[in-house]
Amino acid sequence: RTSVRIRRVADFLYEELKRYSAGAASGANSAR
C-alpha cells in the first residue's frame, strides 16, 4: 500500500521539522 509509505514519510518529515524548529528556537535564545 502506498498510503502507508506516504504516512511514514510524512511522519518522518514532521519529526525532523519539530527537531529543527526546536533547535532554531534554542539557538535564538542562546544568541540573545
The tens place of each residue's pLDDT in the chain, 32 residues long, gives 789 999 999 999 999 999 998 888 887 766 55
Q: Which three cell numbers stand for residue 9?
A: 514519510
pLDDT at 16: 94
pLDDT at 24: 82
pLDDT at 32: 59
pLDDT at 7: 97
**What does 1-32 look like in DSSP terms, one character per residue?**
-HHHHHHHHHHHHHHHHHHHHHHHHHHHHHH-
